[in-house]
Structure 1
Amino acid sequence: MTSGTEHLTVERAGATLVLTLNRPEAKNALSLPMLVGLHDGWAQADEDDDIRSVVLTGAGGVFCAGMDLKALAGGDGMAGQHYRDRLKADPDLHWKAMLRHHRPRKPVIAAVEGHCVAGGTEILQGTDIRVAGHGATFGLFEVRRGLFPIGGSTVRLARQVPRTHALEMLLTGRPYTAEEAARIGLIGRVVPDGTALETALEIAELINANGPLAVEAVKASVYETAEMTEADGLKSELERGWPIFATADAKEGSKAFAEKRPPVYRRA
């Protein structure tokens, strides 16, 4: 079980694993300790069957301001150089941490307050459900710095929002309010400032009450069929879905409904 790092806090809230980007003095800019913590947090969620959902949030009223450009410009590199051995052992670690090269099997809910820009918006695209405080700010600022949003945005964003909106965000580098982000479909819900985490945990509890095998199969089906033809997608859905009906959890769900009691799921 991971305990996090100096820039990534790991906590349990019932069956939910809460990962908190914890570098508020730098607006939670990405650092090696943060990336290592995220990588290990996703691994913990995948490996622990008692974890049914994950909430990703940021400390200090900020989600993530992206890469630490000040540190890089100053020639000092990123904080946490003692984690370099982890990167050498797995050169893909940072991409897995940012959900570019890894998709957790449990649902991931983002709880956003304040800045969620550049790398923050890129990580956001790897989450499943997104809640933001009214004052949150989004955007892909890389082109303003002569950089490229290499965290996956030129591929993912146009698959998640209409292409005209994706290209405007990518090419202008301008900030987006939470309301505008919701309007184009980047996030799902806008809530009063300071309540994004509370709302995300409420959503997580609704998910946690459901059959975990069914939840994970539904999530997997949505993603693996996204780029298929309708015919291939429907075939794949049956391959994912039919086995769920034969599980003990499926029988328990029906029995609990008939007996008017909460179901007790055992991942069986």
Structure 2
Amino acid sequence: MGATEHLKTERVGATLVLTLNRPEARNALSLPMLVGLHDGWAEADADDAIRSVVLTGAGGAFCSGMDLKALAGRGMAGEHCRDRFAADPDLHWKAMLRHHRPRKPVIAAVEGPCVAGGTEILQGTDIRVAAESATFGLFEVRRGLFPVGGSTVRLARQIPRTHALEMLLTGRSYTAREAERIGLVGRVVPDGTALDAALETAALVNAGGPLAVEAVKACVYDTAELSEAEGLALELRRGMPVFATEDAKEGARAFTEKRPPVFRRA
């Protein structure tokens, strides 16, 4: 499940790696890529053996966004996928994480261009690692377009508003170091090592109790727009049941016995 001609899937331990695989087009979005992403998120949600997801791109690029040649009328790759979109008109928004939030943590490993739709997908991920030469930006206004992948709503909630508006309104390119400085990505690593760094982070996530990890992620997002009092109340509703799980007891036993815990999602 998940793999298409433009989307590769691989299991690395408890991590599902989704690789945008259209390097000849700098991983511009295509119908098979969107179908593959949609199915990859669904696979991660459905399979309890998957504890985290890493999203990356092939060929030294993350994603260059919409296929502008297709938009200009030259045909979008993967016409054979049209039936999937007819069956679910929301499929592309779920694939791009606009209308779907995976319950497992999603870590982005960015090499090369991550622009336009690439930067929009990035905003749906939870932890972001970028290579030194990675570039970011929302170029839509320069082409008379609108970034409908969620950026006019999400970006100012993730980085300071002045930086969000500068990115949205100027359409200029940002280096990885600029993206780190404004908080769009969390860490910059040497070129060629973003995937390794993301997998190392995923391994740390995977070592935690899965029920606890998923509850923490859900609580962070669910409380984002609440008042502090409302958020604290929701935190107790989300968090206290975790203490009653067998995994919580196992974590305490393992600490006492000085051994790695064996979590069973129970």
Show the counterpart of 1:7.
Answer: 6
Instruction: Rate the CA distance shift 1:220–1:3 in 2: closer, same or farther, 3 A.
Output: closer
Kindly indicate whether residue 177 of structure 2 is the aligned counterpart of residue 179 of structure 1.
yes
TM alignment of 1:99-178, pairs within 5 A: 99-178=97-176
SS at match of 1:56: strand
Distance 2:152 2:169 in 1: 10
Show the counterpart of 2:187.
Answer: 189
CA deviations over 1:208-233 (Å, ceiling 9, x no partner):
01100000000000000000000000
Read off the aligned partner of 1:10 and give its amino acid letter: T
Show the counterpart of 1:39.
Answer: 38
Show the counterpart of 2:60.
Answer: 61
Show the counterpart of 1:254.
Answer: 252
Distance 2:259 2:153 in 1: 45
Distance 2:2 2:27 in 1: 18
SS at match of 1:10: strand
SS at match of 1:34: helix
Distance 2:111 2:33 in 1: 18
SS at match of 1:144: helix
Distance 1:161 1:135 in 2: 21
SS at match of 2:202: helix
Q: What CA RMSD, in Å, does the superposition of the two structures yield over aligned residues?
A: 0.5
Deviation, 1:117, is 0.1
Deviation, 1:76, is 2.7
Distance 2:96 2:75 in 1: 19
Deviation, 1:78, is 1.1
Structure 1 segments of 4+ aligned residues over 6 angstroms from their partners = none
Show the counterpart of 2:264.
Answer: 266
| TM value normalised by structure 2 | 0.99
Distance 1:217 1:22 in 2: 32
Distance 1:157 1:53 in 2: 23
Unaligned stretches of 5+ in structure 1? Answer: none
Deviation, 1:77, is 2.5
| TM value normalised by structure 1 | 0.99
Show the counterpart of 1:23.
Answer: 22
Name the count of aligned residue pairs.
Answer: 266
Distance 1:3 1:152 in 2: 23
Deviation, 1:3, is 4.7
Aligned sequence identity (%)? 82
SS at match of 1:199: helix
Unaligned stretches of 5+ in structure 2? Answer: none
Task: Check the 8 A contact 2:5/2:33 in 1, yes or no.
Answer: yes
Task: Check the 8 A contact 2:37/2:95 in 1, yes or no.
Answer: yes
Distance 1:49 1:71 in 2: 38
Task: Check the 8 A contact 2:15/2:51 in 1, yes or no.
Answer: yes
Distance 2:249 2:202 in 1: 23
Task: Check the 8 A contact 2:35/2:81 in 1, yes or no.
Answer: yes
Read off the aligned partner of 1:56 and give its amino acid letter: L
Distance 1:265 1:106 in 2: 16
